[in-house]
Amino acid sequence: MTRKFSSTSVETALASGISSSATTVTVSASTAITLLGGVTLSAGDQFTLAIDPDTASEEIVFVYSASGNPVSGDTLTVVRGRSGTTGLAHSAGAVVKHVLTSNDLDYFTAGVDGAITTTSTSTVSNKSISLATNTLTGTTAQFNTALSDGDFATLAGSETLTNKTLTTPVINFGVSSVAVNSQTTGYTLTATDKSKIVLVTSSSTANITVPPSIFSQGDVIYVGRLGSGATSLVAGSGVTISATPGLALRAQNSVGAIICTGSNTFLATGDLSA
């Protein structure tokens, strides 16, 4: 609930006596709003008064209503016997004064203890944080550590995406250059030829052999014939190379590619002939 307090030490008096259980009190004419410091209480607001303060009949009451403004003219709706006091009968003319009680201080302390400050370590629930007016700082790794059901993917990161649907994507393969392996005679590929282009320059036949157990599914090797001599792709022991119409680089300056599709299984494509 919200607490509202008078800004001045105002006191008034009961306009008429009250019993020990009365839930409304009427103060002297035109003094209720002054007593409350000029504020208008809303449902749930609370204001603390003492009746007969500093006497044996002192009683603390809360001006309070759960449903609306507890003040009607100079009549106040109250909860009796608060802050360790007991509901008592009071006579007309009894002093009524705004006071600060231990209950108010306990409420204030609880509010401060639960407040979020610039140096506090706090856990908040059911709060909305606008990114338009707030700044969240941290690294991607720190955000991912805080997440309990997944990770963020970044533009520059190397993340693996699973079960994602890409709508009208623009895919850049990112191949800006290809390393060249130049040969002048027949040549057997090695594992380091993956993603390279093997260029054969020979005036006589110089074939390129694909050996077994070197490449993995998805590996690509590019080949080119720069010389006048014939250059064909040759399958090593246990290797299968499929191509249409054949495995020969068709003519001088023909280029092709060998793609590993499985264990010792390849598909050749490009400017090929039988």
Residue 60 lies in a domain: yes
Q: Are strands 265-270 and 240-242 parallel, antiparallel or unpaired?
A: parallel
CB-CB contact of 24 with 96 (8 Å): no
In a domain, 163, yes or no: no
In a domain, 115, yes or no: no
102 shares a domain with 17: yes
The parent domain of residue 193 ranges over 180-273
Query: Both 103 and 23 in a single domain?
Result: yes
CATH number assigned to the domain comprising residue 265: 2.60.120
- Point out the domain boundary residue: 108, 131, 159: 108
Final residue of a structural domain among 59, 80, 108: 108
Clarify whether residues 104 and 187 are in a common domain. no
CA distance 202 to 228: 6
Question: pTM, whole model, 2 decimals?
Answer: 0.44
Sheet with 265-270, edge to edge strand ranges: 180-183, 197-200, 220-225, 255-262, 265-270, 240-242
52-105 pLDDT, tens digit per residue, is: 999 999 999 999 999 999 999 999 999 999 999 999 999 999 999 998 887 777
| 8-state DSSP, 25 | E
| Span 179-213, pLDDT tens digits | 999 999 999 999 999 999 999 999 999 999 999 99
Which among 88, 108, 128 is the end of a domain?
Answer: 108
CA distances 195 to 122, 191, 210, 215, Å, are 53, 10, 14, 11
Between the alpha carbon of residue 135 and those of residues 57, 139, 154, the distances in Å are 56, 13, 19
In a domain, 4, yes or no: no
| CB 23, CB 78: distance < 8 Å | yes
Residue 119 maps to a domain = no
Rounded CA separation 266/69 (Å): 85
Q: Are residues 16 and 104 in the same domain?
A: yes
pLDDT on residue 116: 76
Tell me if 118 is assigned to some domain: no
Residue 121: pLDDT band by 50, 70, 90 thresholds?
confident
Q: What is the distance, to the nearest Å, from the Cα of residue 209 to the centroid of all Cα atoms in its chain? A: 54
pLDDT > 90? residue 151:
no
102 lies in the same domain as 186 = no
- For the chain, the domain total comes to 2
Q: Is residue 268 part of a domain?
A: yes
Residue-averaged pLDDT of the chain: 90
Decide if 116 is inside a domain.
no
- Identify the burial level of 85 via C-beta atoms within 10 angstroms of its C-beta, where 0-12 means exposed, 13-18 middle and 19 or more buried: middle
Answer yes or no: is pLDDT of 219 > 80. yes
Residues 184 and 104 reside in one and the same domain: no
Confidence grade of residue 173 (pLDDT, cut at 50, 70, 90): low
